[in-house]
Amino acid sequence: MYGNGRPLRCTIAPGVVSLKEVVLRIPEEVRLAIGPGKDLAGELLKRIAVALYAEKKISMGKAVELSGLTYDRFMDLLGEVG
């Protein structure tokens, strides 16, 4: 549950042709570990994009699109996470 007891709903970045809505139940300690003031859905999408790109499951373009970031900011994020 997210904050107010409702499940977190994530949607894929605009422009994606096919969408799948996913409902996640995230423990409070995980939300706090990500950052109490951060957009949890956005942070999770960024982390998923990085992981899928690192595993060569999606292209750089798809990873940028999924993350909702600009190309330059996504490249910065890749550098931050190693």
Grouped pLDDT means (10 residues each) for the chain, 82 residues: 54 61 87 87 93 96 94 96 82
Amino acid identity, position 49 = A
Please choose, from the candidates 9, 12, 18, 3, the residue with its C-alpha nearest in 3D space to the C-alpha of residue 66: 12
Is-contact 53 60, C-beta < 8 A?
yes
Q: Given CA atoms 53, 2, 69, 66 in this order, what sign does their dihedral have? A: positive
* pTM of the predicted protein model: 0.73
Give, as one character, the DSSP assignment of residue 46.
H
Q: What is the pLDDT of residue 17?
A: 57
